[in-house]
């Protein structure tokens, strides 16, 4: 089996290549340069399977390959119709695979399964990081909106906080979203004044 | 009553702006929706996440929505058309040395054209334009690139031209990387562009969802039509957490005039059968619907309701 790995994260690509080499044994395993167009690489390299990081914006280019006359072999997104849970797991982890020729489900699945395990590990770390960042930016939004209300409407800090709470309740929004709305409206007003 | 939770997918395109505006200004909340907006890097991601239930709704390309519901791309996925969000807005840009050439077919040679997805209006509009210029679309090579990469590819000479949405065509022309030779508004005036689709199961469980989405998005598109709002909206949309594009470019493309995306307001947001027929007819010509009953294709996204069948759920 000839495998091409297209990952936005070079370190993860190396790790996956090493794991697959140990697992699949035979066959070539190559890593696609992250900045080169995926469809062009696949058209030249002609692997049997492409493992694709869903963060790549050029994944769409791969979906088009099937209609290129010069490239006779169809390139298809791998889907296991009988195992939607497996597909959900893959997409949830952020990795999919495309196959060229008639690579069979039984050949592809163990390879994709290894990739899923690796991606899930990486994405769990990212989720924790994103949650921490979101909390930070939520707090920044609330602070920003409070400062604006205090400056623009001469509110005290507790009054500004109560105003946001009331607004969030009235509009059935989270507090940070109410703060964002206050800031967005103000940004619009200011830009309007300048225009 | 608690708000209905909904995950909406979109790409970083000007056409998706009403979704971000509706969230930021609280229009979803006002329509009884607790909407989280998910920005994806590719159409393929939107399609896969809709197919496996990780998104409930999305801003979509009409041809891709049809391809999904007919099982032409990945897993066959039941979708329902909830809104026509925008019309027009795409542009065809040619390499400078090709613009104005009478012998276009010969001048192009083997150089490919780029579009944003194999199943896109961009592809269908480009085919219309090539045909009108005496170039056979069947003979032209058409490839897919992310819109953000098209200008670079044009500059490098690896493509002859591209068809992409706002603001990519305007940006390439402004930077002198290529020549804007046609807007989609000129090729097919008022053509349907971005649609909002909902997964079948989600729509079936919530009959009022499509109307609620149209209310929220309608409030956002109404703002886009106010000239006084444009600079402020563009400033908000430009941020890295939103569209991550230059504010002045976004403001320029928000006018809705000429070739700009025209956002639908109020009742205009309701999906129209004629739009779907426009898309189906062109996909059929492009050879995407071989062996498929065109009436079946139409009913896969729109189901007529009521006695005269003139309205849709």
* CB neighbours of residue B141 within 10 Å: 17
Q: Is the pLDDT of residue B149 over 80?
A: yes
Q: How far apart are CA A153 and CA A164, in angstroms?
A: 13
Q: Are B232 and B164 in contact (CB under 8 A)?
A: no
Share of chain B above pLDDT 90, in %: 81
Q: Mutate which of A44, A53, A64, A130 to test chain B, going by most B C-beta atoms within 10 A?
A: A64
Q: How far apart are CA A161 and CA A141, in angstroms?
A: 12
Considering only the beta carbons, identify the residue of B3, B49, B229 that sits closest to A188.
B229
Q: Are B47 and B240 in contact (CB under 8 A)?
A: no
What value does the mean pLDDT take over residues B253-263?
Answer: 88
Considering only the beta carbons, identify the residue of A63, A66, A192 that sits closest to B44.
A63
How near does any CA of chain A get to the CA of B46, in Å? Answer: 10
| Domain limit, last residue, from B187, B210, B240 | B187
Yes or no: is domain A128-194 CATH 3.40.50.300?
Answer: no
Sign of the dihedral through C-alpha B220, B224, B229, B235: positive
Q: How far apart are CA A32 and CA B243, in angstroms?
A: 28
Measuring CA to CA, how many Å separate A65 from each of A77, B40, B113, B190, B242? 11, 21, 14, 30, 30
Q: Is the pLDDT of residue A70 over 60?
A: no
Q: Is the pLDDT of residue B182 over 80?
A: yes
Place of tokens 């790995």: A5
Q: Is the pLDDT of residue B197 over 90?
A: yes
Cβ-defined contact of B228 to A96 (cutoff 8 Å): no
- CATH code assigned at B281: 3.40.190.10
Between residues 88 and 117 of chain A, which touch chain B (CB distance below 8 Å)?
88, 91-92, 96
Q: Are residues B203 and B290 in the same domain?
A: yes
Q: Are residues B68 and B200 in the same domain?
A: yes
Q: Is the pLDDT of residue B124 over 90?
A: yes
Q: Are residues B217 and B169 in the same domain?
A: no
Q: Are residues B77 and B211 in the same domain?
A: yes
Whether A56 has its CB under 8 Å from any CB of chain B: the answer is yes
* CB neighbours of residue B296 within 10 Å: 11
Domain that holds residue B12: 4-87+191-312
Q: How far apart are CA A187 and CA B220, in angstroms?
A: 16
Cα Rg of chain A (Å, integer): 24
Considering only the beta carbons, identify the residue of A60, A87, A172 that sits closest to B42.
A60
Q: How far apart are CA B120 and CA B144, in angstroms?
A: 10
How near does any CA of chain A get to the CA of B269, in Å? Answer: 24
Considering only the beta carbons, identify the residue of A59, A63, A91 that sits closest to B73.
A63
Cβ-defined contact of B236 to A171 (cutoff 8 Å): no
Considering only the beta carbons, identify the residue of A67, A91, A178 that sits closest to B52.
A91
Query: What are B49-86's pLDDT values in tens digits?
Result: 999 999 999 999 999 999 999 999 889 999 999 999 99
Measuring CA to CA, how many Å separate A86 from each of A91, A105, B172? 9, 12, 42
Cβ-defined contact of B231 to A192 (cutoff 8 Å): yes
Q: How far apart are CA B109 and CA A17, in angstroms?
A: 39
Q: Are residues B64 and B148 in the same domain?
A: no
How near does any CA of chain A get to the CA of B7, in Å? Answer: 14
Burial class (CB in 10 A: 0-12, 13-18, 19+), B211: middle
User: Which residue of chain B is at minimal alpha-carbon distance from A182?
Assistant: B25
What is the arrangement of strands in the sheet containing B113-115, beginning at the earlier edge strand?
A: B142-144, B113-115, B161-165, B90-94, B179-183
**What was the pLDDT predicted at B144?**
92
Contacts of B73 in chain A (CB under 8 A): 63, 77
Q: Are residues B71 and B9 in the same domain?
A: yes
User: Which residue of chain B is at minimal alpha-carbon distance from A76?
Assistant: B74
Burial class (CB in 10 A: 0-12, 13-18, 19+), A154: exposed
Of the given ranges (A38-52, A63-77, A106-120), which has the lowest mean pLDDT? A63-77
Considering only the beta carbons, identify the residue of A92, A177, A188 that sits closest to B233.
A188
**What was the pLDDT predicted at B77?**
94
Residue B60 pairs with which residues in a beta bridge? B195
Counted domains in chain B: 2
- pLDDT band at residue B309 using 50, 70 and 90 as cut-offs: very low
Q: Are A179 and A185 in contact (CB under 8 A)?
A: no
Query: What are B5-42's pLDDT values in tens digits?
Result: 999 999 999 999 999 999 999 999 999 999 999 999 99
**What was the pLDDT predicted at A19?**
92
- For chain B, what's the residue count? 313
CATH number corresponding to A3-126: 3.40.190
Cβ-defined contact of A63 to B231 (cutoff 8 Å): no
- Per-residue HEC secondary structure of B94-132 comes to ECCCCCCCCCHHHHHCCCCEEECCCCCHHHHHHHHHHHH
Cβ-defined contact of A58 to B149 (cutoff 8 Å): yes
**What was the pLDDT predicted at B6?**
96
**What was the pLDDT predicted at A69?**
42
Considering only the beta carbons, identify the residue of A59, A88, A92 that sits closest to B42.
A59
Cβ-defined contact of B228 to A195 (cutoff 8 Å): yes
Q: Write out the E strands in A70-161.
A: 75-77, 95-100
Average pLDDT, chain A: 85
Residue B87 pairs with which residues in a beta bridge? B192, B262
Cβ-defined contact of A60 to B144 (cutoff 8 Å): yes
- pLDDT band at residue A66 using 50, 70 and 90 as cut-offs: low
Query: Phi and psi at residue B259, in whole multiples of 5°?
Result: -95, 5
User: Which residue of chain B is at minimal alpha-carbon distance from A95?
Assistant: B45
Q: Are residues B270 and B222 in the same domain?
A: yes
Q: Is the pLDDT of residue A30 over 80?
A: yes
Q: Are residues B213 and B297 in the same domain?
A: yes
Of the given ranges (A92-106, B77-91, B107-121), which has the lowest mean pLDDT? A92-106
Measuring CA to CA, how many Å separate B232 from each of A19, A190, B46, B172, B247? 51, 7, 28, 24, 9
Q: Where are the domains of chain A?
A: 3-126, 128-194
| Domain limit, last residue, from B167, B187, B207 | B187
Query: What are A37-56's pLDDT values in tens digits?
Result: 898 888 888 888 999 999 99
Q: Are residues B221 and B239 in the same domain?
A: yes
Q: Is the pLDDT of residue A71 over 60?
A: no
What value does the mean pLDDT take over residues B212-240?
Answer: 94
Place of tokens 């964002």: A180
Of the given ranges (B82-86, B134-138, B261-265), which has the lowest mean pLDDT? B134-138
Q: Are B125 and B188 in contact (CB under 8 A)?
A: yes
Q: Are residues B143 and B175 in the same domain?
A: yes
Q: Are residues B177 and B217 in the same domain?
A: no
| Domain limit, last residue, from B163, B187, B211 | B187
Residue A103 tokens read as 């690579």
What value does the mean pLDDT take over residues A114-135?
Answer: 81
Q: Are residues B106 and B153 in the same domain?
A: yes
Cβ-defined contact of B117 to A63 (cutoff 8 Å): yes
Q: Mutate which of B110, B222, B232, B235 to test chain A, going by most A C-beta atoms within 10 A?
A: B232
């Amino acid at each position: 089996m000839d495998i091409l790995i297209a990952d936005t994260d070079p370190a993860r690509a190396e790790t996956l290549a090493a794991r697959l080499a140990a697992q699949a044994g035979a066959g070539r395993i190559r890593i696609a340069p992250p900045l080169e167009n995926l469809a062009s690489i696949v058209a030249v390299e002609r692997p049997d399977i492409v493992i694709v990081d869903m963060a790549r914006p050029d994944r769409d280019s791969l979906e088009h390959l099937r209609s290129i006359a010069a490239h006779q072999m169809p390139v298809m997104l791998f889907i296991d119709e009988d195992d939607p849970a497996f597909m959900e797991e893959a997409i949830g982890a952020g990795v999919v695979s495309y196959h060229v020729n008639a690579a069979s489900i039984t050949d592809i699945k163990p390879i994709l399964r290894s990739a899923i395990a690796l991606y899930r590990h990486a994405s769990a770390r990212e989720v924790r990081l994103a949650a921490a960042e979101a909390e930070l930016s939520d707090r920044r939004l609330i602070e920003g909106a409070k400062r604006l209300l205090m400056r623009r409407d001469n509110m005290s800090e507790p009054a500004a906080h109560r105003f946001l709470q009331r607004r969030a309740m009235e509009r059935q929004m989270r507090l940070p979203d109410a703060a964002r709305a206050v800031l967005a409206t103000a940004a619009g007003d200011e830009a309007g004044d300048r225009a | 009553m608690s708000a209905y939770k909904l995950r909406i997918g979109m790409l970083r395109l000007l056409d998706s702006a009403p979704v971000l505006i509706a969230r930021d200004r609280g229009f979803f909340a006002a329509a009884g929706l607790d909407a989280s907006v998910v920005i994806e890097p590719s159409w393929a991601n939107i399609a896969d996440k809709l197919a496996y239930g990780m998104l409930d709704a999305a801003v979509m390309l009409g041809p891709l929505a049809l391809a999904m519901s007919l099982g032409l791309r990945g897993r066959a996925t039941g979708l329902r058309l909830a809104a026509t969000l925008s019309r027009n807005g795409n542009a065809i840009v040619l390499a400078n040395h090709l613009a104005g050439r009478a012998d276009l077919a010969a001048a192009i040679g083997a150089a490919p054209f780029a579009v944003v997805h194999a199943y896109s209006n961009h592809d269908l509009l480009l085919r219309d334009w090539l045909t009108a210029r005496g170039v056979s679309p069947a003979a032209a090579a058409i490839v897919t690139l992310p819109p953000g990469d098209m200008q670079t590819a044009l500059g490098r000479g690896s493509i002859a031209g591209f068809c992409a949405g706002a603001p990519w065509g305007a940006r390439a022309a402004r930077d002198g990387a290529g020549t804007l030779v046609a807007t989609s508004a000129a090729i097919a005036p008022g053509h349907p562009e971005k649609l909002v689709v909902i997964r079948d199961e989600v729509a079936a469980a919530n009959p009022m969802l499509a109307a609620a989405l149209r209310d929220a998005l309608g409030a956002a598109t109404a703002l886009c039509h106010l000239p006084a709002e444009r600079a402020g909206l563009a400033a908000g949309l430009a941020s890295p957490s939103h569209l991550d594009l230059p504010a002045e470019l976004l403001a320029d493309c928000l006018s809705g005039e000429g070739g700009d995306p025209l956002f639908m307001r109020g009742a205009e947001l309701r999906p129209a059968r004629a739009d779907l027929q426009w898309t189906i007819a062109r996909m059929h010509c492009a050879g995407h619907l071989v062996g498929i009953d065109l009436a079946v294709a139409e009913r896969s996204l729109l189901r007529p309701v009521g006695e005269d069948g003139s309205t849709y759920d």
